């Protein structure tokens, strides 16, 4: 994959589909990855629901942790990728990285939601309440809100550069914000209560098939994460490509109109980089969707 620098507009709608480009986000490799992920999910279901014993303290509810802990870890990985992608966009103007960051942020938001929901379902039988103002819970909820803010900006109906630039600043600040929020919440709670409620959670005395299931849960969720990331990235890439192509075609038409008097050949529609990116960008900023 390359980082072409042709600019795009806000909406993919109204443009013709790329003629030579791929028409699906799947490939042999991703299909194999998808089948592998499905098989792993099936195995994880069997392991988590039937083959592992119930926990001595937490009873059956321990099974939620085989989903909860991997989802939480990969949500953090997604945030890290978002910050990295944003940094690379701001630093190198790499659209490839920017789209990776965007795709990772969406997946991270889903995994954070999964983490929160499974955490609440686990908390209800274990602590008797859905929610406690524990440092981890609170900072995870704040992380969810920060991710939603990033996605809100990234999905604004505006020029690609405006969206990408603004979202990247938020994305870059995502990890520092999470660290500060986490630190402050941790201080806040430890001033009030002592031991963390997670003391009897995973890692305390987990072994045998339960440990294997947890590790296998990590593997499964990594496969799902990778599959989702590849597809979401390709979809975002195609979206931008289509939008750019529609604009390029329109500009080519205008230029052909202008040049028809002097007898120049009209610019071909298919290859997007035919027009200088500066011109595309300037034209796109005068579109109706662009702010202020």
Partner 1 sequence: MWHDAMLVAGKDLRLEVRSRVALNQIVPFALLVLVLFAFALDPDRGLLERATPGLYWVAVLFSGLLALQRAFTVEAADGNRDALRLSGLDPAGIFLGKAMAVGVQLLVLEVLLGIGVAVLYTTQFAGWPLLLATVGVATVGIAAAGTLYGVLAAGLRVRETLLPLLLLPVLAPVLIGSTRAFEAALAGAPAEGWPWVGLLAVFAVLYILAGVLGFGPLLEES
Residue numbers of the site for partner 1 (CB under 8 A)?
A: 90, 142, 145-146, 148-149, 152-153, 156-158, 161-162, 165-166, 169-170, 173, 176-177, 180-181, 183-185, 187-188, 191, 291-292
CA angle 252/258/260 to nearest 5° reads 95
Q: Are 254 and 266 within 8 A, CB to CB?
A: no
User: What are 248's two structure tokens?
Assistant: 């390029």
Minimum CB separation of residue 166 from partner 1 in Å reads: 5
Q: Which is nearer to partner 1, 105 or 185 (CB)?
A: 185
Minimum CB separation of residue 233 from partner 1 in Å reads: 23
Minimum CB separation of residue 153 from partner 1 in Å reads: 7
* Termini Cα distance of the chain: 34
Q: Are 39 and 227 within 8 A, CB to CB?
A: no
Q: Which is nearer to partner 1, 166 or 255 (CB)?
A: 166
Q: Which is nearer to partner 1, 40 or 185 (CB)?
A: 185
Q: Which is nearer to partner 1, 191 or 199 (CB)?
A: 191
Q: Which is nearer to partner 1, 49 or 179 (CB)?
A: 179
Distance of alpha carbon 98 from the chain centroid: 11
> Which DSSP string do the residues of the chain spell out, in sequence order?
---------S--TTSPPPSSS-SSS--HHHHHHHHHHHHHHHHHHHIIIIISPPBTTTBGGGGGHHHHHHHHHHHHHHHHHHHHHHHHHHHH--HHHHHHHHHHHHHHHHHHHHHHHHHHHHHHHHHSSS----HHHHHHHHHHHHHHHHHHHHT-SS-HHHHHHHHHHHHHHHHHHHHHHHHHHHHHHHTT--S-GGGGSTTSS--HHHHHHHHHHHHHHHHHHHHHHHHHHHHHHHHHHHHHHHHHHHHHHHHHHHHTTTTPPPPPSS-GGGS-HHHHHHHHHTSTTS--
Q: Which is nearer to partner 1, 178 or 230 (CB)?
A: 178
Q: Which is nearer to partner 1, 171 or 272 (CB)?
A: 171
Minimum CB separation of residue 189 from partner 1 in Å reads: 10
Minimum CB separation of residue 132 from partner 1 in Å reads: 16
Minimum CB separation of residue 10 from partner 1 in Å reads: 12
Q: Which is nearer to partner 1, 10 or 126 (CB)?
A: 10
Minimum CB separation of residue 290 from partner 1 in Å reads: 9
Minimum CB separation of residue 140 from partner 1 in Å reads: 12
């Amino acid at each position: 994959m390359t980082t072409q620098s042709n600019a795009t507009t806000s909406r993919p709608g109204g443009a013709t589909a790329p003629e030579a480009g791929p028409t699906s986000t799947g490939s042999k490799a991703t299909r194999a990855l998808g089948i592998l992920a499905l098989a792993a999910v099936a195995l994880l279901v069997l392991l988590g629901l039937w083959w592992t014993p119930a926990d001595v303290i937490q009873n059956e509810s321990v099974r939620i942790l085989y989903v909860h802990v991997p989802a939480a870890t990969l949500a953090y990985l997604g945030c890290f990728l978002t910050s990295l992608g944003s940094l690379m966009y701001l630093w190198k103007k790499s659209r490839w990285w920017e789209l990776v960051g965007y795709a990772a942020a969406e997946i991270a938001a889903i995994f954070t939601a999964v983490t929160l929901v499974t955490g609440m379902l686990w908390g209800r039988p274990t602590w008797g309440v859905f929610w406690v103002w524990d440092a981890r819970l609170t900072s995870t909820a704040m992380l969810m809100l920060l991710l939603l803010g990033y996605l809100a900006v990234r999905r604004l109906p505006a020029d690609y550069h405006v969206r990408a630039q603004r979202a990247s600043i938020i994305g870059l600040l995502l990890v520092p914000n999470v660290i500060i929020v986490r630190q402050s919440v941790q201080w806040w709670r430890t001033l009030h209560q002592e031991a963390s409620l997670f003391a009897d959670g995973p890692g305390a005395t987990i072994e045998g098939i339960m440990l294997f299931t947890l590790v296998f849960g990590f593997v499964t969720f990594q496969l799902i994460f990778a599959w989702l990331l590849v597809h979401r990235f390709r979809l975002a890439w195609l979206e931008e490509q289509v939008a750019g192509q529609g604009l390029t075609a329109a500009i080519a038409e205008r230029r052909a109109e202008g040049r028809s008097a002097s007898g120049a050949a009209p610019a071909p529609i298919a290859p997007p980089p035919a027009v200088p990116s500066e011109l595309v960008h300037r034209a796109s900023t005068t579109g109706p969707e662009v702010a202020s």
